[in-house]
Structure 1
Amino acid sequence: MTRAVAGTAIAAALLLTLNPTSAVAAADTGLRDAAKHTGVRIGTAVDMAAFNADTTYRDAINREFNSVVAENVMKWGEIEKERGVLNFAAADQLVDSARANGQQVRGHTLLWHNQLPGWLTAGVTSGEIDAAELRQILKRHVFEVAGHFRGRIVAWDVVNEIIDDNAQLRDTIFLRLLGPGYIADMFRWAHQADPKAKLYLNDYNVEGINAKSTAYYDLVKQLKADRVPVHGFGIQGHLGVQYPFPNNVLDNVRRFEKLGLDTAFTEVDVRMPMPPDATKLQAQAYAYSALLQACLLAQRCVSFTVWGFTDKYSWVPGVFNGQGAANLLDENFIPKLAYDAVKTTFTLGGR
């Protein structure tokens, strides 16, 4: 989860996001209201510990967003900490709350090389779990999890971050034991478990046209040729103001759409070296708005999801030393320039 932002202008229209009209700025409504006419959902990742402990956080989710995704509680290591013992309580709570508040739910994620159950990685490492058993375990996992939420999840990140930063299939226990065919298997199993859910590939550092996004483009072409039910491409959008903004974002989105896929920005945040200052906050606003503009200008971009919305509960400082302030609201839930930019971009945008 890394990458890039800042500096050069994309379009004159961006100036409107950094200098919103008085009518737009004065409107006292949330992001979900600003987005409702565009056909693009505005979403956030949800930290369920904060959701249960902090009413300000919970109220903001319901006010600002019409789509949610679990930050952690749908990951394999959280659902099945003990082999064969499944715990959906926290994930069910999120789904039930979302449905009560008119929000769609994205599923994240059926398979990732991180946050796996300890019993699984230990079993593979020791040789206790061989290739044949791993394939059966993986199939069971997909049917149990996707099947549990059948009809309640609009889209699944079926496989997450399966290509590395050298544009090669990531070296994981699944690739080593099962070969690249596990990717197609995951999509076929997920489609059988929940035929109505849209099924996504999802990764970081694929915002623009580069070697990694092209590797995904080639993978999608092969999967489609093999009649694998892949429906969407998820662009995470973890950026940083200290890096150049990725080039050709809209062109990249459009080439995946030409393959017949929906697209989505799935995990957007824009970090900065601490402390914040006016220039960094303006660059952050630019980055959020520029990604959202690409989504709105595309034909099949269905959602724009931020990976957390308040710096109070951000994952960034714990992973990137000396960096933070990556979200739309600060630690006190006060909107930043980036929030205004996203809101204005939605308000002025459309299809």
Structure 2
Amino acid sequence: MRSLRLATVTLATAALCLPLATGAATAAPPADRKAPPHSHAAPDRLRSAAPEGFFVGTAVAGGGHHLSQDYPDPFTHDKEYRKILARQFGSVSPENQMKWDFIHPERDRYDFGQADAIVRFAERNRQVVRGHTLLWHSQNPEWLEKGDFSAEELRALLREHITTVVGRYAGRIQQWDVANEIFDDQGRLRTQDNIWIRELGPGIVADAFRWAHEADPEAKLFFNDYNVESVNAKSDAYHALVQDLLAQGVPVHGFSVQAHLSTRYGFPGDLEDNLRRFDALGLETAVTELDVRMDLPESGVPTKAQERKQADYYRRVLQACLAVDGCNSFTIWGFTDKYSWVPVFFEGEGFANVMTEDFVRKPAFYALRDTLKEAARKDRGHRRG
């Protein structure tokens, strides 16, 4: 049976933009992680259709590229968005609101406002939270990347950041993406563009996991990356690194594939096999950032064949995760094209999510729902047997 860990509703103080000196001391109290009874009511909702112990999640739009768009903060201002977010999903991941540049904008100041709001929202709606992310080469604040810090100072900065952020949400976050995208596509460590590895050496990765575990011993700690869906040089590098870290006693608990896919490329048919080899190491696995973009016709409207192909990609990723016992967390990177990152970063591509800009469900949505319902039916039958 898949394990359950779900935070219940707690009373929390209003979101604050806190100075460094008060960041950890004012952390909200931990919530009880006991899961509510599983319900199979409302089968048209993804979270209700899922097998017991399987969390279907989405990224919560905000921060990052959204700040340059011509709409207000989605999570704060879009009531229909929040309504669907609560109804459809059992897990939420801050898209940008826990990244360094957003949550730690100045050396001596943390801004927990949006992150606090998302965690409280999740608790009110009986959702778990995936924290994202603690050590990354991208979306770091300018004061960090351009600061004149010694190696000793940088190490202290990272430890302080991890201790403060993870500690603030201790008992309230199910999984953390501790180290994000630390290898390039050839399976080489990012020794140039990752400030932590460049200045402190590869051993800092193990330290990040140790510090996160000290700050919240209950949270599951993950490696997370893109282009690791298949068995390839990049996923091989993670497979070797994980074995080395586990042999050292480093608290690594999971490996996750982002799964930013495109229909212009073939589907990663060995995804299940790849997840299984990490499962065999004793790790949990997860799909954390699934979307399926496509090349749109000049009209901007995809063909029915394109929609069917997209739905098939979504279905097959979900099936691969469901087939692996330790893959209990499945997250799509946003559910509506209204706030998708894809057109901003991939010119000519789009339509990547399971709902349109007007929240109309696509075939991809129904592919996920039906796959979840079938898996839940089999799971119930197995437990009765």
Which residue of the partner structure matches residue 146 of structure 1? 166
Is 2:79 the counterpart of 1:55?
A: yes
Name the SS for the 1:224 alignment partner: helix
Which residue of the partner structure matches residue 304 of structure 1? 330
**In the alignment, is the contact (CA less than 8 A) between 2:43 and 2:49 conserved in 1?**
no
Q: Which segments of 5 or more consecutive residues in structure 2 lack a partner in the other structure?
A: 1-41, 63-72, 380-385
**In the alignment, is the contact (CA less than 8 A) between 1:204 and 1:236 conserved in 2?**
yes
> Aligned runs of 1:91-106 on 2, under 5 Å?
91-106=115-130
Is 2:200 the counterpart of 1:181?
A: no
For residue 143 of structure 1, report the CA deviation from its aligned partner.
0.4
Name the SS for the 2:146 alignment partner: helix
For residue 39 of structure 1, report the CA deviation from its aligned partner.
2.5
Which residue of the partner structure matches residue 273 of structure 2? 251
Paired residue type of 1:131: A
Structure 1 runs of 4+ with >3 Å offset = none
For residue 38 of structure 1, report the CA deviation from its aligned partner.
4.1
Correspondent of 1:167 among 184, 187, 192:
187
For residue 262 of structure 1, report the CA deviation from its aligned partner.
0.3
State percent identity of aligned pairs. Answer: 52
What is the CA RMSD across the aligned residues, in angstroms?
1.0
Which residue of the partner structure matches residue 3 of structure 1? none
Paired residue type of 2:77: A
Structure with more contact order per residue of length (Cα contacts < 8 Å, sep ≥ 6): 1
Which residue of the partner structure matches residue 56 of structure 2? 42
For residue 77 of structure 1, report the CA deviation from its aligned partner.
0.7
Q: For 2:52 and 2:332, how far apart are their aligned partners in 1?
A: 17
Q: Which segments of 5 or more consecutive residues in structure 1 lack a partner in the other structure?
A: 1-26
> Aligned runs of 1:122-133 on 2, under 5 Å?
122-123=146-147, 128-133=148-153
Name the SS for the 2:130 alignment partner: strand
Correspondent of 1:284 among 305, 310, 316:
310
| TM-score, length-scaled by structure 2 | 0.82
Correspondent of 1:260 among 282, 305, 328:
282
Which residue of the partner structure matches residue 46 of structure 2? 31
Q: For 2:340 and 2:198, how far apart are their aligned partners in 1?
A: 33
Q: For 2:307 and 2:151, how far apart are their aligned partners in 1?
A: 49
Name the SS for the 2:110 alignment partner: coil
Q: For 1:147 and 1:45, how far apart are their aligned partners in 2?
A: 22
Correspondent of 1:137 among 157, 175, 178:
157
**In the alignment, is the contact (CA less than 8 A) between 1:209 and 1:247 conserved in 2?**
no
Name the SS for the 1:328 alignment partner: coil
Q: Deviations over 1:292-320 (max 9, x none)?
A: 00111111001110000000000000000
Correspondent of 2:138 among 89, 108, 114:
114
Name the SS for the 2:210 alignment partner: helix
Which residue of the partner structure matches residue 4 of structure 2? none
Correspondent of 1:233 among 230, 239, 255:
255
Which residue of the partner structure matches residue 344 of structure 2? 318
For residue 58 of structure 1, report the CA deviation from its aligned partner.
0.5
Q: For 2:284 and 2:217, how far apart are their aligned partners in 1?
A: 16
Correspondent of 1:157 among 177, 201, 217:
177
Which residue of the partner structure matches residue 214 of structure 2? 192
Which residue of the partner structure matches residue 335 of structure 1? 361
Name the SS for the 1:267 alignment partner: strand
| TM-score, length-scaled by structure 1 | 0.90
Q: For 1:151 and 1:34, how far apart are their aligned partners in 2?
A: 26
